[in-house]
Amino acid sequence: ARPADLVDKGNMQLVFSDEFTGQSLDENKWNPCYPWWNGEGCTNGNNKEWEWYQRENISLKDGILHLTGKKESVKPQGNPYTYDYTSGMIASKEHWQYGYTEVRAKVPEGKGLWPALWQLPEDGKWPPEVDIVEVIGAKPDVALLSNHWGEKENPQKEVDYHAGDDLSQDFHTYGLDWKKDAITWFIDGEPVRKYTNTKNIPHKPMYFLANLAIGGTLPGAPDESTLFPADFQIDYVRVYKDKQ
């Protein structure tokens, strides 16, 4: 069954959601950074990303969340580095173990852009990580669907490259059904990948993230063809769990 069918039949209950209908980000629900960062702003040096995430790059308009990447230099206070780009990200303050997460979003196109919807463990110990979808801006017709496991010293991952529509042209729904014995990825309600090796499935609470990275190991650097500001748009985030 498609996850939406289970939701409609009342087999699942909504445990976390944001429709982004307010005037600004609800910081009761969201961190505008990774939870382990303190202060104003953050980045992800593990991926050699080029952006500095800051609140100013998060906005809400007409029921849509905008995570905006800009070509502008910033030297954060107390930080030895200057960043050539700024961008926006959100990380949920709530976490859950197993469930169905669905996000309706429109990704930007452009070399060096790296929009992602993903989940990380609440205890801060990486791996595991489950990527609901990542898109390399230079190849917006390919969705990356990934599962990470193992130890920090020896991380393992399996990535599925799902080719289809140009995802930058319109909104699409991205779903992740995370169960004890299987993870299933969905695009526009259709299952596109299933992972069933239970020992490599996360079995601890995780939180949800959405971000627009710029540069880094996966997409490479932006160039003069990359249009800024770049806009990662999110219509809603909804998380459901099976009724007990």
Task: List residues with catalytic annotation.
Answer: 129, 134
| β-bridge pairing 30-31 and 89-92 | antiparallel
Phi, psi dihedral angles at 166 (to 5 degrees): -70, 105
Q: How far is CA 114 from CA 10, 217, 226, in A?
A: 35, 10, 12
Strands (E) across the chain are located at: 12-18, 30-31, 51-53, 58-61, 64-74, 83-87, 89-92, 99-106, 113-121, 129-134, 142-151, 154-163, 172-178, 183-187, 190-195, 206-214, 230-242
Q: If 0-12 CB within 10 Å is exposed, 13-18 middle and 19+ buried, where does residue 243 land? A: exposed
| β-bridge pairing 99-106 and 172-178 | antiparallel
Distance CA 56, CA 32 (A): 10
Cβ neighbours of residue 62 closer than 8 Å, sequence gap 6 or more = none
Q: If 0-12 CB within 10 Å is exposed, 13-18 middle and 19+ buried, where does residue 204 land? A: exposed
